[in-house]
């Protein structure tokens, strides 16, 4: 009996190793978004069979249906999932993909594989960094504001937006991109002509809860200003 059980377990392990899972509709998933995914469970030789599988979500992915074990007919099963933040709070943690765990259920064990579903990491920061703090030819000057967003990964994809500055009472707008570096290094936005706006520097703190953007610029009499803006979710990116 023990020899039969041991042999059966080895057969199941070999079967699990030779089984793979794929799924449709695995684009970026936003928190709160519900989506249906069709699973395709097959052997590495391409054959599909009826199988009982268990679906579980990880990294904040909620499995809406089916709950418990379900039958994959001819290797196919439709699964409804929902993206949540779960217990993850920082942007660094939220950058990790959702994970759909697919297990083949047997009295002898489990095993098929996992599917990764990328999170929609779309964020923005906007606000005033400096007030008008001096007069230029009889007009207020110095006010500085920023408004930037990113559609994708905060430390690899460019942030797009505007820097505005009040000079002689006139509002100047600089359409710019901003590439932030890992490790807290400061960087400057670059305008549409390729010129760095060197009087303004910033860095991201993705491990803060919530995430933060820290800035450095100089005010009147060359005083150093170090304002901070909170990073929030941005809803204007294409789906």
Q: What is the CATH number of the domain that holds 55?
A: 2.60.40.10
- Residues 53, 69 contacting (CB under 8 angstroms): yes
Tokens representing 211 are 């995430």
Do 218 and 173 share a structural domain? yes
Q: Is residue 46 part of a domain?
A: yes
Residue 192 CB neighbour total at 10 angstroms: 9
Do 56 and 26 share a structural domain? yes
- Give the model's pLDDT for residue 7: 47
- Give the model's pLDDT for residue 239: 64
* 107, pLDDT greater than 70: no
Q: Is residue 128 part of a domain?
A: yes
Q: Is residue 47 part of a domain?
A: yes
Q: What is the pLDDT of residues 54-64, one digit of tens each?
A: 889 988 899 99
Q: Is residue 238 part of a domain?
A: no
The beta-strand segments (E) located in the chain are: 19-23, 34-43, 51-58, 61-65, 69-72, 76-83, 98-104, 113-117, 122-130, 134-136, 139-141, 144-151, 159-167, 170-178, 190-191, 201-205, 212-218, 224-225, 228-230, 232-233
DSSP secondary-structure letter at 194? S
Place of tokens 């901070």: 228
pLDDT band at 162 (very low <50, low <70, confident <90, very high): very high
Q: Is residue 89 part of a domain?
A: yes
Q: Which of 88, 117, 146 is the last residue of a domain?
A: 117
* Longest alpha-carbon distance in the chain: 97
Do 141 and 89 share a structural domain? no
Q: What is the pLDDT of residues 208-229, one digit of tens each?
A: 878 899 999 999 999 999 999 9
Q: Which of 117, 147, 181 is the last residue of a domain?
A: 117
Average pLDDT over residues 107-122: 71
35-44, 130-139, 190-199: the lowest-pLDDT one = 35-44
Do 147 and 131 share a structural domain? yes
Do 146 and 85 share a structural domain? no
Do 193 and 160 share a structural domain? yes
Do 71 and 31 share a structural domain? yes
Do 157 and 96 share a structural domain? no
pLDDT band at 109 (very low <50, low <70, confident <90, very high): very low
Average pLDDT over residues 71-85: 87
Residue span of the structural domain in which 52 resides: 2-117
CA 58 to CA 51: how far, in whole Å? Answer: 22
* 46, pLDDT greater than 80: no
Number of structural domains (the chain) is: 2
Shortest CA distance to 239 belongs to which of 115, 83, 70?
A: 83
* 10, pLDDT greater than 80: no
Do 141 and 205 share a structural domain? yes
Do 83 and 52 share a structural domain? yes
Q: Which of 117, 151, 186 is the last residue of a domain?
A: 117
With a pLDDT cut of 70, the percent of the chain lying above it is 81
Do 138 and 105 share a structural domain? no
What residues does 23 pair with on adjacent strands? 39
Q: Which one has a higher pLDDT value, 235 or 58?
A: 58
DSSP per residue, 8-36 = HHHHHHHHHHTEEEEES--S-B-TT-EEE
Place of tokens 């993206």: 83
- Give the model's pLDDT for residue 8: 46
- Give the model's pLDDT for residue 44: 56
pLDDT band at 80 (very low <50, low <70, confident <90, very high): very high
């Amino acid at each position: 009996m023990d020899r039969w059980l041991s042999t059966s377990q080895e057969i199941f392990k070999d079967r699990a190793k030779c089984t793979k899972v794929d799924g449709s509709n695995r684009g970026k998933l936003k928190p709160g978004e519900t989506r249906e995914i069709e699973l395709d469970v097959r052997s590495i030789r391409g054959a599909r069979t009826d199988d009982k599988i268990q679906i579980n979500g990880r990294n904040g992915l909620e499995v809406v249906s089916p709950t418990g074990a379900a039958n994959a007919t001819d290797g196919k099963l439709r699964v409804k999932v929902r993206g949540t933040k779960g217990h993850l709070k920082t942007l660094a943690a939220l950058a990790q993909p959702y994970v759909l765990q697919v297990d083949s259920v047997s009295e002898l064990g489990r095993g098929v594989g996992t599917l990764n579903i990328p999170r929609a990491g779309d964020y923005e920061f906007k606000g005033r960094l400096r007030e008008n703090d001096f007069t230029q030819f009889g007009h207020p000057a110095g006010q500085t504001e920023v408004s930037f967003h990113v559609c994708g990964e905060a430390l690899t994809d460019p942030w797009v937006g505007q820097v505005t500055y009040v000079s002689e009472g006139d509002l100047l707008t600089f359409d710019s991109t901003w590439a932030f570096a890992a490790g807290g290094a400061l960087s400057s936005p670059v305008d549409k002509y390729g010129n760095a706006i060197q009087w303004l520097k910033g860095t991201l703190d993705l491990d803060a809860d919530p995430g933060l953007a820290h800035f450095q610029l100089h005010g009147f009499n060359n005083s150093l200003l170090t304002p901070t803006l909170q990073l929030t979710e941005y809803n204007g990116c294409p789906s």
